[in-house]
Each structure stands twice: as C-alpha cells, then as structure tokens.
Structure 1
Amino acid sequence: MKYKKILWNVILFAALAGHAESLNLKWNLCREAKLEEGRFLKFSVAPEDKSGQHCASAEFDLSSSANCMIEFSIRARAKNVSRPPQEWNGVKFMLHYRDSAGKNFWPGIRKYSGTFDWQELSFFALVGEPQGKAFLKLGLQDSSGEVEFDLASLRFHKLFSPPTRPFTARYSDEVRATPPLRGMMSPARNLTLDDFATLRSWNVNLVRAQIIRNWHKVGTDRDLEEFDRWINRKLDHFETMFRTGYEQYGIRFVIDLHTYPGGRYANREMAMFHETRYAEYFVELWKRIARRFRNNPAVWGYGLINEPNQKRFAKHDFLTLQKQAAEEIRKIDSTRPIIIAANLSNSPDTFHLLDPIDLLNIIYEVHMYQPFQFTHQRVYSKDGKLRPGEKPVVYPGRINGEEFDQKKLRQILQPVRGFQLRYGARIYVGEFSAITWAPGAAQYLRDLIKIFEDYHWDWSYHAFREASVWDVEKAGSDHKSIRPAPNTDRKQVLLEGFRKNRH
C-alpha cells in the first residue's frame, strides 16, 4: 500500500505542472530514492556505493513527438555530488529511447556535480522515429552525494515540429538567374589588398564577412550602447572594404552577424532569444544595416544570425526572431537575399523542422562539420597532439561505428536536400571545413564540394587566413607544428571548386 501511495503522489504533481496529458508518470524508485511530501524526490549515495546508476525511472510516451525537437526541464538542488569520470554522469536527468533502426539514444544533462541550490535543469532531444518504450531517469550515476528533484516542476515542451503547410519559395529573376557562388569566409580581422588579390587569383567571387568579437566567450556584449559603437565602426569599415572588393576584384559579400547583442549564455544559447531588449535591438540593427547597404551592389545577402542554438523554450525563438527581422528588412530593401539560419549551429539535422518564410528571395543556410570527431579532432586539446594509444580519425573510414564516405555525407545532408526540393529553396553552405591534421581532409572537402555542386548550392569555406587549424595555406600535425604551406592538398581542392566561377 505504501508503494502505491508513492506512485499516486508522483502522478498528482506531474498533473499540477500543467502537462497532465504528457507527464502522467509512474516512477520506479531505487533503494537510494526517497519521496517526500509527494513531490520531492531525493537521492543519497554513500562514497563507497557511488559506482553504477542510482536512478528512478518512468516510462514516457514519445509516439506523438516523432520527428520533433523536444525539451524536458525540472528544478533540482545538490549537495557534495562527487565529480564523475564522464561529464554525462553525476546528477542524472536523462531520456532513453530507441529509433526504428534499433539505435539507442540517451539525451540528458551534462556536467552537473558539486553543490548547488535550486535551479532549473533542462535538456533537448531531436527525436526521429522512436520505437518501443522510452524512459525518463532521475538520480545519480557514478557519483556520491545528495540530489533532490521537485517533481512538481517537471516540464515537457515540444519546441519544434515539422511544418505541414504547402509552400513554394519565391525568387526574383535576378536571383534565380545567378549561378551558384563559391568563396571563403573572411578572417575576424579586416581584409587587406593582398588578401583581395589572393582571393581574386583563386577565382573567389563571394566572401562571408564576419562581424565578430568575443567568440566562445560567455556573458559578453550586454552593454548595448558600447555594442552599438562597435557595430557602427565595423559597418563603417565594411563600406570601404566592400567597395574595394567589388569594384577592383569582382567579389560580393554576405554580411554575417557573428556576434549578437546580449551575447551567449553558458549553454551557447543567445540572450536575445530570452531577453526582449536584445531581441528588439537585433531587429532594429538589421533595419539600420538594410538602410545603409540597400543600394550597395557589393552586398549579395544579409546573413541574419550565425549558428543559433535554441535548446529550450524561448520568448523569442530563433526562427520567429529572424522572420521579424526579415519582414522589417523587406520594407526597406525589397529584393536583396536574406539568409536564414537553421537551429543547432545551422545543423543539417534540423532542416526538417525549419518552417520556410513567405518573403521574396529568402535563402537558407547550413553548416557542415559532420562527423565532428573527424573535422574537429583534438582542436580543443591544449597542444593538439595524439595521446599514447590514441589513433587519428581518418576519412573515409569507420567513425563511431559507422562508415563515412561521400555516400554517408549525402545521407547527412539529405534533410537539407529534401527541404530544397520540397520548397524550391535556394541553399547556402555558409561554413564547412576539416582541421589541418585530419587524415583525409582533402578528400572530405572534395566529397562535400561534389555534393554542393550536384545540388547547385552556394558555398563558402571556413575560413580564409583566420585560425591556423582551418587555414588551407598552412599545415602541421598539432597546434605548435603548424607552419605556412602554400600548396596544401586542401587548398588545391578549393581551387578546383573555385575554377567553376570562371564559367
């Protein structure tokens, strides 16, 4: 009878959370779990018992969330939770499910240990075609200490679902007649005359020009007056740079807003998704940019957001905010292409959730760095060196248990191709690359460019004379060994692609 009472109390408070239809959950409690007041689920694990999973689990029906992006959140606090060997363990709040191919998925929170007061924990999942039972889990894994969850705060949000309305993208005769553009992403610094001369000799006809600072930093760009002064200086320089690049070297530009008002949070989400004053400034900024460059022939397009990462419910979601800016731009500049970014850093995986915008000359941007274990191998290590027993990740080859080759890359990009064919949309690959020392990097770039060309996508490589690890004029086996290498095989692959700009 006592066990049944516990189950009933959990069900009751899930209903009070406002999602009774989704969170009518029956929790199976482990011996380390204790339910208090019918809503506070507490776990206490002694140091000698920390190994393994100490969790409560509840079956969750994912059937109505197929092919959707969903979010789970709950309030929790912890005391003296030991640091686990893996970042995905420690405090545990996780979903487990399988897809139609039998592949297991475990989306959940990461890097939660130590002591912290009540705060919201959340994670998202890109759900494909779930099969069988799915389970939510709460507790501790491979950690000792105490953690407490408030079951009354448990929330489930369906963030994005596949659009269902019929739609056909609209393009002006000029944009429709423009052949695919091929180019480079600019460095963070200002381009020089030597840079332009080099780009021209390579047959580059497009530069994605970054407005960037404080990359990868958290809590920056909060002062809007200071941010505004910096943006204005950058736009002043762009006017001169665009004139030189276009009139003397025949290069056109995408204005790429790489740094945003309000900056990013620790989870890489943008503050302007959640804080109205930054959202409003973002729209006003694009109105100002449009007024300034609407008659500038050097500007090919307005790149509204670089790599949005919306992983939870937001007052100003990433697509609605872009739509608002695009609508305001269209009142000022009626025809210049506006480039819309996909969620999760322009991931191909999110294109099936991208709702097209019903305005003239809207182009949709994807970034391609998959598989990340290949393209970014050891980039974040201190020296970039292989550790004893570590082997480099090779392309083409077997990566994370799957064979990666051009066929696999096409499969990864299929959601983008499907979006293109479904809506008649123009696609722009704003970034793609592989780190200098990745074995097979040249073949990886060649295979991607072949796909882009087959699908008639515009593209720009990341990046021209920026960080050494992406620079095709440099080579090396780790961070300290990178040196100038003017004729790398990666550069030769790009030059092959750029030659098509001459036709």
Structure 2
Amino acid sequence: MIGSWMMAVSLLGLAGEDGARNTGGNSPVFVRTFEERKPFEGTSPTGPGIRVLAGEGRAGTAGLVIEREPASGSGSAMVSWSLPIEKLRGARVRVEAFARAEGVSPPPKSWNGIKVMLHVRGAGDEWPQAPIDAGSFGWSRVGFTATIPDDSKSADLALGLEQVTGRVVLDDVRISILSPRRTAATPAANATAAEARPGHGRLRGVMIGTKVDADDLTTLARSYGANHVRWQLLWDGFPNGPADTATAEEYDRWLGRELDRLARLLTVCRREGISVLIDVHTPPGGREQGTSVMKMFRKPEHQAHFLRVWDRIAGRFHDDPAVWGYDLVNEPVVGMIPDGVKTWPELALEAAKRIRAIDRGKAIIVEPTPWGSPEGLDDFEPLPGIDGVVYSVHMYQPHHFTHQGVYDNPGRVSYPGVIDGKPWDKAAIRRALEPARRFERDFHVPIYIGEFSVIRWAPGASGRDWLRDVIEVMEEYRWDWAYHAYREWDGWSFEHGPDRNDHTRSPSLTDRGALLKSYFERNPRQPRP
C-alpha cells in the first residue's frame, strides 16, 4: 500500500493563506461540498456512523461526519466514489479537502487512520493518500498530488476511518486535473542552466558535521581539494532534537552560538577558497515527534520566527565573500496545514524576498517537499520575481541500498542489481534524477545536489560504484554538489573503511575517498597566503 508509490506523491500547500483554493485553471473532476441534494449519489457508505449533518461543515454548512466508537475495535467506516478514469489516465491530479477531528485513536500502521485516499487499479493496485494526524485538531487543509498511471483501469476516492476510532468531519472535497506545468519560453530544451548560478566556477564539496574545526577545513581543502561546504545549522539531532520543545528564546540563543562559530571559521574558509552554503537544518519549532512534519507548518508564530531567522543570517553575512548562499530549510516536510499558515512555496517566497532586501547577490537555495526529493520538483515552480535562486534536491535512491543497516532497513544489498524488485544501475540513477533535469530544462534555473551518499558498509565495491555513477551524471549535467558527509556521523564517512564497528579513520585513502578526491581535484585552485 505504501513504498514506491508514496515516493511519487508530493505533499503540497493546497490553498492560499486565507484558505481560498489555489487551483487556477485546473479542471475539477469531482467536488463534494455536502450541500448537494444527494451527497451520497453514486456510492453506498460501508460501516455505521457515516452521515451528512447540517452545521458540521467548515462554514457552518453541512459536513460529512464519520464516527467509530471506542468499543468498535478493529475495522473501518468508509465511503467511496468511482471516478472517471478515462479523464484521469496519465494526468497529475490534486486531491484536497478540509478536515477536523475529535479523539481519533493512533493508527496501528502508518497507512491506517483518517483516510482521504485514491484507490487506483492497473497493472497493480496503488493507494496514494493524504497524511493526516490522529488525535484532535481544528479545520486543516489536507491533500496530495499524484500521477495516475497510463494503464489504470479504474480509480476510486475513499473517505473514512480505517482501523481507528474517533470522529472526523470532512468538507469541501475536490479532485482536480492539474493544468500543464508552465514552462520557460527560452532557452532550447537541451540547454544547461549551469551558467545561471550565482558565484563563480564549479562547486564540488561536502556537507560538514557540526563539530568541524579549522584543522578539519584546512585538511578538506588542502588534502582533498574540496572547494565547498554545506554548513549545517543543526541542533543536536536529526530529525528530532532540542528545538522540538525549545522556546523561541532558547532557539535564538542556540542559533547565536552557531552563527558566532560560523563567523570565526569563515576566516579559514576565505583563506582556503571554500565557498559556504548556510543551511538551516533545524528550523524554529523543530519537527513533530513520530511524523517529522516541521512545526512551522502548524503554527504561524513559528513561520514568523523562521522569517526573522533569515533576516538575522542575511544581515550578518551579506558582505562576507566566503558565503556563497543560503539554504532556506533542509528537507521540508509539510503534512497538514491549518488555516492561517503559509504553504511552503508561500513561506519560501516570503523568506527569499526578505533576504533579497538585505543581500542582492548570494544564492538562495530552495528544496521541494517532501524531504527534498527529486520527485518533489514535478509539483513545484520557480519562486516568482526572485533572481539568483538555485533549486536543490537530495539523492539517496534506492533507499534500501543507500540506508542498509540504518533504521530497520536490511543489510547486504548490492549495487548494481535488483533492489526492491527493480533493476538499479546508472540508467536508473539518471531516471531517478530526471525530475531535477526536467525542472532545469523547463525553467532554465540552476540545480544543486545538496546531499547524496550511501552507507560505508555497503557490500564490496557497491558504495563506490553507486557514488561514481551519481557523480558522473551530476558532472554530465554540470550540477554543483555536496557529498554527505565530512566528519559527521562516521556511517557516511569517506575516511572510514567498510567495517561498521571500526570507528577510527583509515590510515590510507579509501576507495570512496579516492573517488571523491579525483573530482575535488578538478576544482579551480585558489591562491593561498
């Protein structure tokens, strides 16, 4: 029910800040306001507790109420409608609704719970769905965007409660076929946007750990040849850490300490010719435990704090030549959006405008939701009216290979080979990165790969071979890139050998280290004192 399909589903902001729909010229194929004379026309609810009640809707109108009592135990209460599949095949569709809930129990599986979901039948069954909280919450925008496969035979919309109890009210449910994505008028389809990026020359480097010091930076530049670092502003953990429970004052004190440290070490970066990208890895409010959704997409006060953070960073570093750019936030995850809270494109645009009011020249890096995945760019458009924006994705596909032995992923997965039932080789890597390449061609904007890596204990030469193929594709496209990571957690280290239990750096250059160094050495050499 989940897996590869969910990687193709991008969670978007579904409406403007005032709650008005942002469908533009999109074509609706299904609408239910529950003010219809026959709201259940074409369907039959399954399970008790499903009804339309006056006064329960978002504007005091009718709403769809679905209830399951605590004594109900396992089971579901669902209602579904068949959709016109002949209109949907091959189309990108947006499914959106408003929801509020009371006392919904925690789902036993991640795909259970409150359902706003499609069931698409074709070569196989797929169930893309909106991520929706358990518990109690007020009116919130929920939804997702998905592409309906060309071979689909049928599609249904399902609303309900699955394997949980409690009460949910749904209103203003809409499915729209998205208009063809706007494309740039120029240049030619095969042109590269590399020359459009801010700064000078190619950037090949690393993401660095939070404890890197002057000697580490000097070694990175002089022994390896890297000319770039992505500088994490990370508060003791990812995805969860102290920011999840910190006050705004505590966050600002932490940020001040980190910015002071950055300012001290920028002296070394200037001397060594290292271009720095400042990355807000931990945003105000942190992330919600268990979901990784950023709290700044739950409360407007966190968004206001986020904007102040960028006023502060840009105000401090706008005239430092070692700072190449500003990465607005690492791997945004949005989820549900309450009324009065900006979507990620809206918030990113506001942050970019505020940075440009202070700093006209440095790059502004924007990652798509969810998790900065390449697929996220298929449902993103460039920030309007802002010069010098670079669009960034992270590359860890296939996840069961790159993250084997991390979390609950199994080990001993080799590359190239069949992984998760699909053949993975350089051609597959190229396909995985195609959304970024397509975005570059469509809009003539620069692409930056802010993270890519594979765990160091991947079998045999698998890790090196995967890295080689990813780098060769990036080099072909002339993308700037940062390997994850240098002197951070040693699972990603290119200075450690393949024994996961050996936490000492190898006395000799590893095969991964030799590969990266061979590309770092292509960087333009900077004169040093």
TM-score, normalised on structure 2? 0.76
Whole-Å separation in 2 of the counterparts to 1:78 and 1:292: 46
CA RMSD, Structure 1 to Structure 2 (Å): 3.8
Deviations 1:82-105 (CA, angstroms, capped at 9, x unpaired): x75x54347765421257xx4532
8 Å CA contact retained: 2:374, 2:436: yes
Deviation per CA, 1:13-59: give whole Å up to 9, x if none. Answer: 94237xx79x87644344x4454576544457999x96x98754332
1:393 counterpart = 2:413: yes
Does 1:134 pair with 2:155?
Answer: yes
Number of residue pairs matched by the alignment: 467
Take 2:44 and 2:516, find their aligned partners in 1: how far apart are those partners? 56
C-alpha contact (below 8 Å) 2:193/2:440 kept by paired residues: no
Q: State the SS of the aligned residue for 1:229.
A: helix
- Pairing 1:183–2:195 present: no
Would you say 1:224 and 2:242 are equivalent positions?
Answer: no
Separation in structure 1 between the aligned mates of residue 474 and residue 453 of structure 2, nearest angstrom: 13
Please tell me the residue identity of whatever aligns with 1:370.
Answer: Q
Corresponding residue for residue 460 of structure 1: 482
**For structure 1, which segment, 339-348 or 215-224, has the greater mean C-alpha deviation from structure 2 after superposition?**
215-224
Q: Distance in 2 between matches of 1:353 and 1:251?
A: 33
Question: Kindly tell me: are residues 166 and 77 of structure 1, through their superposed partners in 2, closer, same or farther at Cα, counting changes over 3 Å?
Answer: same
Picking from 13, 22, 28, the partner of 2:44 is 28
Q: Distance in 2 between matches of 1:313 and 1:327?
A: 22
- Secondary structure of 1:474's counterpart equals coil
SS in 1 for 2:284: coil
What is residue 233 of structure 2 aligned with on the other side? 211
Question: Which digits, 9 at most, give the CA deviation of each residue in 1:320-367, with x for residues without a partner?
Answer: 212112112222221111112222111100112221123222111111
Counterpart of 1:495? Answer: 517
**Segment drifting more, 468-477 vs 344-353:** 468-477
Q: Secondary structure at the match of 1:58?
A: strand
Number of the residue aligned with 2:473: 451
Say if 2:285 is the partner of 1:262.
yes
Q: Percent of aligned positions with the same letter in both sequences?
A: 31
Mapping of residues 60-459 of structure 1, within 5 Å: 60=83, 63=87, 66-68=91-93, 70-72=95-97, 74-76=99-101, 84=108, 86-89=109-112, 94-98=117-121, 102-108=123-129, 124-130=143-149, 131-138=152-159, 147-153=165-171, 155-156=173-174, 163-164=181-182, 166=184, 175=197, 178-214=200-236, 215-217=238-240, 220=244, 222-247=246-271, 249-266=272-289, 267-313=291-337, 315-357=341-383, 358-381=385-408, 392-439=412-459, 440-459=462-481
**Structure 1, 63-72 or 196-205: larger mean CA deviation:** 63-72
- The CA distance in 2 between the partners of 1:159 and 1:272, in whole Å, is 29
Distance of 1:274 and 1:46 partners within structure 2: 31
SS at match of 1:28: coil
1:243-267 CA-to-partner distances (Å, cap 9, x unmatched) read: 11221x2211001111111222243
**In 2, Cα distance between equivalents of 1:95 and 1:42:** 20
Query: How far, CA to CA, are the matches of 1:327 and 1:412 in structure 2?
Result: 31
Query: For 1:253-307, what per-residue CA distance to the aligned partner results, in whole angstroms no more than 9, with x for missing partners?
Result: 0011111112222432222233222222222322222222122111111111111
| d(CA) in 2 for partners of 1:371, 1:414 | 14
CA offset at residue 413 of structure 1? 0.9
The 3-state SS of whatever aligns with 2:523 is helix
Partner residue in 2 for 1:484: 505
- What CA distance in whole angstroms lies between the structure 1 residues aligned with 2:245 and 2:113? 32
| Distance change >3 Å, CA 500–CA 71, structure 1 → 2 | farther
**Structure number with higher helix proportion:** 1
For residues 446 and 516 of structure 2, what CA distance do their matches in structure 1 show?
22
Q: Tell me how far apart the structure 1 counterparts of residues 104 and 279 of structure 2 sit (CA, whole Å).
A: 44
Higher normalized contact order (CA 8 Å, seq sep 6+, divided by chain length): 2
Distance 1:125 1:252, change over 3 A: same
Per the alignment, do residues 220 and 408 of structure 1 end up closer, same or farther by CA in structure 2, a change over 3 Å counting?
same
Partner AA of 2:146 in structure 1? V
The Cα shift of 1:462 comes to 0.7
Distance 2:311 2:131 in 1: 39
Report the CA distance shift for 1:242/1:24 in structure 2 as closer, same or farther (over 3 A). farther
SS at match of 1:280: helix
In the TM superposition, what whole-angstrom CA distance separates every residue of 1:46-77 from its partner, at most 9, and x where no partner exists? 99x96x98754332458579325544564456
Shift in Å, 1:312: 3.3
Any stretches of 5+ residues in structure 2 without a counterpart?
A: 1-30, 54-63
Instruction: List runs of 5+ in structure 1 lacking aligned partners.
Output: 1-12
Q: Secondary structure at the match of 2:257?
A: helix
Q: Is contact 2:91–2:178 with CA below 8 Å preserved after alignment?
A: no
Q: 1:55 to 1:283 in 2, by over 3 A?
A: closer
Looking at structure 2, the residues matched to 54 and 275 of structure 1 have their Cα atoms a distance apart, in angstroms, of 31
**1:132 CA displacement:** 3.8
Tell whether the 8 Å contact from 1:406 to 1:448 is kept in structure 2 after alignment. Answer: yes
Residue 152 to residue 420, structure 1, CA distance change in 2 (3 Å): closer
Residues in 1 aligned to 2:261 and 2:186: alpha-carbon distance in whole angstroms = 37
Report the AA paired with residue 369 of structure 1: Y
1:6 maps to which residue?
none
Query: Is contact 1:159–1:312 with CA below 8 Å preserved after alignment?
Result: no
Tell me the alpha carbon deviations over residues 408-438 of structure 1, each in whole angstroms, 9 at most, x when there is no partner.
1111111110111122211110000111222
Secondary structure at 2:448 match in 1: strand
Q: Distance in 2 between matches of 1:181 and 1:90?
A: 45
